[in-house]
Structure 1
Amino acid sequence: MLIPDLPTAPWQKVGTDLFHYNGKEYLLVIDYYSNFPEIALLTSTIATNVITHVKSIFARHGIPKTVVSDNGPCYNGKEWQQFSMQYGFHHVTSSPQHAQANGKAEKGVHIIKQLLKKATDAKSDPYLALLSYRTAPLDCGLSPAELLMNRKLRTTLPCYTQIKRNEEIQTKLDNLKRKQKNYYDKATKTLTPLAKDDVVRIHDQDTWSRKATVLQEVGPRSYKVRTEDGNILRRNRRNLLKTKEHFQEAGCDDAQSEDAVSLPNKVPKLRSNGHGQSNDETSALPALRRSERHIKKPVKLDL
C-alpha cells in the first residue's frame, strides 16, 4: 500500500468526483487535510457545467495546489486542461479501473450518499445533515470545519464556544470605522427626530410629491408613515421632510366624492309621456346657460 503525500495545510490538495443519487447528478470536492466536503447539484455532467461549479467552490476556499480526479469525460478533456492552466493547479488523474487511486473522493461520495439517504428517510433537512458531519469531531479531536476554517461552526445543537477576540485587529477595525464616520459627517447635518402624527413629504424619484403622516419609529432613523391614499410605508429619516402642511386621508375625500356621486341618484327618474317629453319634475330643474362673463378680444399689433 502506497501512502499518498499528505498536505501540511488545509485546501492544498483536494479530490473531486461525480456521483449519482436519487435520479440526480452531484459534484463532490473534498479536502485531503480536513476531510471537509463540498457538494453541488448538477443540471448536466458536461465539462463546462462541472467546471463552473468547481470555480464557485474555489472562489470560496481558494485554489488548491493539486486536484485529484478519475479519468471521467469531464476531467479528461481540453476544457479541463485549459481550466487547470488558467487557475494554476496541478491535475492528477487515477488509473482507469483503479478507484483506489482517488480513494479520498470515493470515500467522500460514500459518506455523502449515506447522509442524503438518512435525511431522505427521516424527511429532514439534508443541509443540516451535511452541517452536522462538517462539525463532528474526527479521530484527531477536531472537526473538518475547525481544521479548514480554524473555528467552530454554529449548529442547531446547543454547545459552548468561547470566542477568542484579537484585540489588535478589533482596534484597527474600530479606528477604521471612526475614520469613515468622520469623513462622512463632514458633508452631512443632523436631522431632528420625528414624532407621531408629524406631517412629512416622502422623497421618491427626486420628488417630494407624496404627503404622509408619521405612525411610529420602528428602528434607528427608520419610520412607518401613512400616505394620503392609506398606504403604510417604511422610510429612512433622510427620505422624510417635515412640513407644516395639513394632512387629510383619502377616506374623507372618498366620502365627499361618494356624496357627490349619490346626488344624481336621488333625482327621480323621468317618465316619458310618449311624445319625447317628460311629465314629471322636469320643469323644476334649472336650465343650463352659458357664463355671462364678458370676454375681451386680444389687441393684436398690426404692422
Structure 2
Amino acid sequence: MSYDFMLEYIPTREFGAADILSRLTRNTTRPNEDTIIACCQLEREVKQSAVEALENLPVTFQMIQNATLKDKVLQEVISYLKNGKWPNTITDDLRSYYIHRDALGIVENCIMLKDRLVIPYCFHKRILQQLHKGHQGIERTKSLSRSYVYWPGLDEEIKRFVQGCGKCAAVAKTLPKTTLSSWPIAEHPMQRVHIDIAGPVNGIYYFLIIDAYSKWPQIYQVNSITSASILNCIADFTSQFGNPELIVSDNGTQFSSKTYSDFCKSQGIIHKFTAPYHPQSNGQAERFVDTLKRALKKLEGAGTTKQILQTFLKTNRVTPNRSAQGKSPADLFVGRRLRTELDLLKISKPHSNQRNERMEQQFNRQNHAQERSYKIGDPVYAKLYKLNESFWAPGIITKILGKVNCEVRIENSNIFKAVKSHANQLRSRFVEAPQKALDISFDYFDLSPSSVSDASNSRACIAEPDLATSQESASSDTSQQTTPCTNMADPPNQLLPEASTDAPNDNREPVTEQTEVHPELRRSSRRKRPPAWIPDYHLFKRRKDVGNPQV
C-alpha cells in the first residue's frame, strides 16, 4: 500500500470540541474485515515481487566491488595477498584461497583467480541462477562458470542447484537400469503363476495364466475384463489344476478390486502386484502376450479365433522349452506328453487289452448277468429312445462292432434306420419260418410223405399251368401239354391233383386214388393249421407265388 499509518489511543475526556466533520463518519460505509485482510496480503506480495525483481537484475562488477569491501573473509584474503604472508594456521574458510594463492590477484579491490572473478557470499545464489538460466546440465553449467566466476565449493553448489531444479527434473532422462533382481526359481508346478490381459484383438480379450515352473499357458477368450469375468476364468483354472501358491499381476482394476482380494483370501492364495507401468516385473506374462499376438496374426485365416487359439495352445504345450529344462510344458505340468498328429509317425506299441476281471466278476455276481452273443442276420428287438421315452422295435443285426456292441437295422421305420446298440439294449426276436407248399398240403390232406411217394409211382402228376385272371389267358392255359412227374417231392412248384370248380378242365385225366395202406402210417409231428392260401381264389396264383403267404 502507499501509506503507513500510526495509531494512537486518546481517551474521550481529552477530546476537544466536536466539530461537524467528526459527525459525518457515521454516514460512511465501514469496510469489511475480509477486505482489510486482503489488502494486507497484497502488501506482502508487492514487497516479495519487488525483492524478486531486484534479484533477477544482473550482477555487475560495481556490485561485486561493494560486496567485496563488506565481506570479512575476502578482506582478510586481500590483506594476506598484499603482505605476501599467510598465517601458519589456515582456517577452513581460507584453505581454498591458500591452495590457489599463487593464482590469486587483486584488481580494483576485487580478487581474481586468473581471469575469474571471486564472488562474495551474498551473491552466490544470484550468480548460480544466472549460470543456470538456460537450464543446462551439471557439467555444462560447470564449464560456463569456469570462464567467469569462482568461490570455494563452486562445483558442488552447481551440482546441488541443478539437481534441485524442478523444471529440469520434470523432463530429465531415465537413469540407467538398476541391477536385475529376478523372481526366485520355481521348484514345482503351481508354485507361482503370472497373469495378464491381452487385447482387444479383433474385439476379443485374452486372459493369460502362465505357470512359472513349466511355462504351461492357459488362455481364455473373454468379451469383458471385469472382475467377475476374470474370477470365472481363475475359478475354472483352479478347478482343473488346483490353487496356486502365489499369483503375480499388474495393478489393473480387475486385480485390485475388493472382490478379487476376497477371492484370493478365501482360497489361500497370495497375491502380489508389480510396479505400475513396469512390465518387466511381470515378464513371464508380458512376454507371452507378445508371442500370442504374433501367433494370432500368423494363423489368421486358418479357422475361427477359437480354433486358432486351440491350435496355438496345443502346439506350444508339446514343444520343448529351453528355459524349462529342455522339456515341454506338458511334461512338467501334467507329467506326460500330449498326443498329436505327429505321434502317428511313430511305431505303435501293442496294447495288452487286459481287463479288470475282479470288477467284472463282482458286477456279474451282483446283477446276475448272463452272457449273450449275436451274429449278423439275427432278428432282435432293439431299445430305441425318443423324447425321453424308450420302446422296443424289431430289427436285424447287420454288423458286429465289438464284444457287446452291434449295428441294428430297424424294420418298418422312417426315423430309425440303423442304430448302434449295446447288448443290454437288445433281446432276441423269434420269427417262424414260412412253410413250403408241399408241407402245407401234407397238413391239409392229412398225408405223410411216404404214402404220397408210393402213390405217385402209379399215377401221373399234372403240372400246374400258369393261370391268369383274364379269360383269354385261362383258355390259352388249357391247351398246354401235360408233363409227367416221377416223384411228388421233387418239383417244389407243383400242386397236389385237385379239380377246380371255377375253371374245369376237360382235357385232364381223372386221378385214381391209391388204395394201398401201409401197416404203420407215420403221421407228421407238425402242428396242423389251415394254410393261408387254401381258399379257392388262391388257386389262381402263379406257380412262383405258391408257398409265399405274403402274396
Alignment counterpart, residue 94 of structure 1, candidates 274, 277, 286? 274
Does the CA-based 8 Å contact 1:215-1:226 persist in structure 2? no
Match of 2:424 in 1: 238
* Partner Cα separation in structure 1 for residue 196 and residue 402 of structure 2: 49
- Please tell me the residue identity of whatever aligns with 2:410: R
Q: Deviations over 1:199-220 (max 9, x none)?
A: 3223357876432233332332
What is the SS of the residue equivalent to 1:137?
coil
Match of 1:131 in 2: 314
Deviation, 1:234, is 2.4
RMSD: 3.0
Please state if 1:5 is matched with 2:184: yes
Q: Deviations over 1:106-161 (max 9, x none)?
A: 11211111222211166694422332222222223222222222322223335659
- Please tell me the residue identity of whatever aligns with 2:244: P
- Please tell me the residue identity of whatever aligns with 1:130: L
Deviation, 1:92, is 0.5
Match of 1:283 in 2: none
* Partner Cα separation in structure 2 for residue 107 and residue 207 of structure 1: 56
* Partner Cα separation in structure 2 for residue 156 and residue 69 of structure 1: 35
Match of 1:281 in 2: none
Q: Deviations over 1:224-268 (max 9, x none)?
A: 2322335322222222221324599xxxxxxxxxxxxxxxxxxxx
Q: Deviations over 1:85-109 (max 9, x none)?
A: 1211101111222222212111121
* Partner Cα separation in structure 2 for residue 107 and residue 32 of structure 1: 12
Match of 2:409 in 1: 225
Does the CA-based 8 Å contact 1:26-1:41 persist in structure 2? yes
What is the SS of the residue equivalent to 1:193?
coil
* Partner Cα separation in structure 1 for residue 268 and residue 348 of structure 2: 38
Alignment counterpart, residue 383 of structure 2, candidates 196, 203, 224? 203
Match of 1:296 in 2: none
* Partner Cα separation in structure 1 for residue 382 and residue 267 of structure 2: 50
Please state if 1:178 is matched with 2:364: no
- Please tell me the residue identity of whatever aligns with 1:136: T
Q: Share of identical aligned residues, percent?
A: 24
What is the SS of the residue equivalent to 2:188?
coil
Of 25-34 and 232-241, more deviation after overlay is shown by 232-241
Match of 1:67 in 2: 247
Deviation, 1:60, is 2.0
More strand as a share of residues? 1
Match of 1:258 in 2: none
- Please tell me the residue identity of whatever aligns with 1:227: E
Aligned pair in 2 of structure 1 residues 215, 247: CA closer, same or farther (>3 Å)?
Answer: farther
Aligned pair in 2 of structure 1 residues 160, 227: CA closer, same or farther (>3 Å)?
Answer: closer
Match of 2:372 in 1: 192
What is the SS of the residue equivalent to 2:400?
strand
- Please tell me the residue identity of whatever aligns with 2:194: G
Aligned pair in 2 of structure 1 residues 16, 241: CA closer, same or farther (>3 Å)?
Answer: same
- Please tell me the residue identity of whatever aligns with 2:311: L
> What is the number of residues matched between the two proteins?
239
Of 116-125 and 37-46, more deviation after overlay is shown by 116-125
Match of 2:231 in 1: 51
Aligned pair in 2 of structure 1 residues 146, 212: CA closer, same or farther (>3 Å)?
Answer: closer
* Partner Cα separation in structure 2 for residue 13 and residue 98 of structure 1: 19
More helix as a share of residues? 2
- Please tell me the residue identity of whatever aligns with 2:382: I
Aligned pair in 2 of structure 1 residues 45, 55: CA closer, same or farther (>3 Å)?
Answer: same
Compare CA radii of gyration and give the structure with the larger one.
2
Match of 1:146 in 2: 331
Alignment counterpart, residue 81 of structure 1, candidates 261, 269, 274? 261
Match of 2:208 in 1: 28
Does the CA-based 8 Å contact 2:384-2:390 persist in structure 1? yes
Question: Which TM-score applies when normalising by structure 1?
Answer: 0.69
Match of 2:444 in 1: none
Note the residue ranges of structure 2 that are not aligned, 5 or more in a row: 1-179, 435-551
* Partner Cα separation in structure 2 for residue 207 and residue 58 of structure 1: 40
* Partner Cα separation in structure 1 for residue 397 and residue 329 of structure 2: 52
* Partner Cα separation in structure 2 for residue 199 and residue 150 of structure 1: 49
Deviation, 1:72, is 0.8
* Partner Cα separation in structure 1 for residue 347 and residue 189 of structure 2: 22
What is the SS of the residue equivalent to 1:75?
helix
Does the CA-based 8 Å contact 2:379-2:394 persist in structure 1? yes
Does the CA-based 8 Å contact 2:394-2:429 persist in structure 1? no
Aligned pair in 2 of structure 1 residues 102, 238: CA closer, same or farther (>3 Å)?
Answer: same
Aligned pair in 2 of structure 1 residues 151, 210: CA closer, same or farther (>3 Å)?
Answer: closer
What is the SS of the residue equivalent to 1:33?
coil
Deviation, 1:43, is 2.0
Of 88-97 and 238-247, more deviation after overlay is shown by 238-247
Match of 2:93 in 1: none
Which structure would you say has the larger RCO, counting Cα contacts within 8 Å and 6 or more residues apart? 1
Question: Which TM-score applies when normalising by structure 2?
Answer: 0.40
Does the CA-based 8 Å contact 2:250-2:276 persist in structure 1? yes
Alignment counterpart, residue 213 of structure 1, candidates 396, 412, 415? 396
What is the SS of the residue equivalent to 1:211?
strand
- Please tell me the residue identity of whatever aligns with 1:37: P
Note the residue ranges of structure 1 that are not aligned, 5 or more in a row: 164-169, 249-303
Does the CA-based 8 Å contact 2:296-2:308 persist in structure 1? no
